[in-house]
Amino acid sequence: MNSPSRNRQGAVLLAALLLTGCGRYADFTLPPLSGGDTSLTYRWEPLPEPVLTRGENWDSHDVLNPSVVLVTGPPAPDPLFNFYSGFDGQTWRTGLATSPDGLHWQKQGLALMPDPRTWEGSYWATNGAAIFERQEFWYWYQAGPRVEPRIGLARSRDGRTWVKEPAPVLVPGPRGSWDERGVADPYVIRAGATLYMFYLGQDRAARQRLGLARSRDGVRWEKLRGNPILELGDPGAFDENGLGEPAVWQAKGFYWMLYTGRDTHENRRLGLARSTDGVVWHKLPSVFSGSEAWDARVVCDASVLASESQVRVWFGGGDKARPDENLDGQIGFAMLRPIH
């Protein structure tokens, strides 16, 4: 029999879940942009070899889901922090690697792992999104029941010692909604005083599409009432079987998005889309595939640092086409250069 204190704790957690998820919807856009040359697109220039490879222990099966952050402030020898997912055949965890240039990485060990005593349970797919502001890392991550994941938030001053929010900050929608069976793959950007989260939602038919939410504090989120913002591709398209893992940046008068598309054979490639308001997106013909043996079947999980002249992209790659894991995953690097 549960004790009264345990029952009270459960009631508090349930109330927190309800407050952070269901019922918070609004109509909004990102700050509108003027648009630009509609003939503009990007050329994909990947390096031939991965820049972060599998280890011998907790990341021995897969190294995927990079989230690369440029640390601002006092000069540091390694200003780039990469919070990435490692899989050992049973459990996903989040590791930290640092780099002076984005090409040469030094692993710093484990950063985060699931806590089975909490809402996270034993499933921690990570697939996280990190930002750095006010001299603090904020990291949104995916965890909870594998069949119905949620998104949590952890904070850290040094990237190694973390404090987690006690409840998920984004939860699945109500019955019948486009994201009732799970929310995952967060990617967070700031525009003015507002944080915007692009994320994957899954419905009861297992369709995976992309949606949008906004927040002032990173904890309390409002979902866009008009979600989803990006739909599955047509039959035969590279993204007909699922969308996920968005990465968004602003350049040349547009918002741009790299996203992962899955076909019916579980091959994964990156698609490109653009928008002037972050809500209405236009898919472009560009599809970026693996060109080497190590990423021949999977190119996914983009993380970007962008300027007007170029976009640095870290991505997951693998030589096995499977839905979730055991892809022989490693992390690669590419440049996106604007072309007409």
Q: How many CB atoms lie within 10 A of CB 191?
A: 14
Residue 23 confidence class, pLDDT cut points 50, 70, 90: low
Which range has the worst mean pLDDT, 15-24, 114-123, 279-288, 294-303?
15-24
Nearby residues of 36 by Cβ (< 8 Å), 6 or more positions away: 252, 253, 254
Which range has the worst mean pLDDT, 27-36, 120-129, 265-274?
120-129
| H-helix or E-strand spanning residue 8 | helix 4-20
> Exposed, middle or buried, 15 (CB in 10 Å: 0-12/13-18/19+)?
exposed
The residues pairing with 213 across neighbouring beta strands, listed in sequence order, are 197, 223
Residue 126 confidence class, pLDDT cut points 50, 70, 90: confident
Q: Regarding predicted confidence, which is higher, 125 or 246?
A: 246
**Looking at residue 46, which CATH number applies to its domain?**
2.115.10.20
Which range has the worst mean pLDDT, 40-54, 66-80, 83-97, 140-154?
66-80
Range of the domain at 88: 4-339
Count how many domains the chain has.
1
Nearest to 25 by CA among 189, 198, 167, 226: 226
Nearest to 315 by CA among 41, 42, 52: 52
Q: What is the pLDDT of residues 67-109, one digit of tens each?
A: 999 998 776 789 999 999 999 999 999 999 999 999 999 999 9
Confidence at residue 12, expressed as pLDDT on a 0 to 100 scale:
44
* Pair 257, 281: CB distance under 8 Å: yes
| C-alpha span between 85 and 105 (Å, rounded) | 15
Q: What is the pLDDT of residues 157-210, one digit of tens each?
A: 999 999 999 999 999 999 999 999 999 999 999 999 999 999 999 999 999 999
Q: Which tokens belong to 135?
A: 């001299």
The pTM for the full model equals 0.92
Q: Regarding predicted confidence, which is higher, 115 or 20?
A: 115
Q: What is the pLDDT of residues 198-243, one digit of tens each?
A: 999 999 999 999 999 999 999 999 999 999 999 999 999 999 999 9
Q: Is 108 helix (H, G, I), strand (E, B) or coil?
A: strand
Query: What is the pLDDT of the chain when averaged over all its residues?
Result: 93
**Residue for token pair 């490692």:** 86
Q: Is 284 helix (H, G, I), strand (E, B) or coil?
A: strand
| C-alpha span between 247 and 249 (Å, rounded) | 7
| C-alpha span between 43 and 48 (Å, rounded) | 16
Total count of residues recorded for the chain: 340
Q: What is the pLDDT of residues 302-317, one digit of tens each?
A: 999 999 999 999 999 9
Confidence at residue 4, expressed as pLDDT on a 0 to 100 scale:
39
What's the Rg (C-alpha) of the chain?
19
Nearest to 100 by CA among 74, 71, 128: 71
Nearest to 152 by CA among 109, 107, 189, 197: 197
Q: Regarding predicted confidence, which is higher, 3 or 183?
A: 183
Nearby residues of 14 by Cβ (< 8 Å), 6 or more positions away: none
| Spacing of C-alpha 232 from chain mean position | 18
Confidence at residue 13, expressed as pLDDT on a 0 to 100 scale:
45
Nearest to 305 by CA among 139, 92, 57, 103: 103
Supply φ then ψ for residue 20, to 5 degrees: -85, -15
Confidence at residue 14, expressed as pLDDT on a 0 to 100 scale:
41
